[in-house]
Amino acid sequence: MAEQQEAYPDQLVEVELWPGIDRYDLRLQFKDEVWSVDVKDYKDAYRLGQKIKNDKLYNIGSLSWDQGFYVFPTYRQQQHANYQEYVIREASPLPSNIRIVSEQHFRELVADKLKQPDED
């Protein structure tokens, strides 16, 4: 993410690794919102879903965020085509501002966010 911050300093204001002593893994502060990212690598999609269901992304004070993401390695989806579907099913219900995505999809979401035109 450091490359994206250097390329888009006006859109991606700050990238913080392990905020709050690892309350989650990555905090991306965009000009208009904050994303929290928690990376999880579980072979068993059901176990990951249960972990997410019982987990709470820390969202208080200086560590608060607008959009939360649980991100799993893309190779898990390549190993099992329905991996994401199983994780989401097991983790449900989730708040509308939390998503479960592959690393590749997350990178695409960041790229799309950075390409959004300025509304100033």
pLDDT in tens, 48-97: 999 999 988 877 888 899 999 999 999 999 999 999 999 999 999 999 99
Residue 120 has pLDDT above 70, yes or no: no
Contacts of 53 (CB under 8 A, 6+ apart): 90, 91, 92
Contacts of 115 (CB under 8 A, 6+ apart): none
pLDDT grade, residue 2 (50/70/90)? low
| CA-derived radius of gyration, the chain | 15
Tokens 């904050």 — which residue? Answer: 34
SS3 99: strand
Of 36, 61, 37, 40, nearest in space to 52 by CA: 40
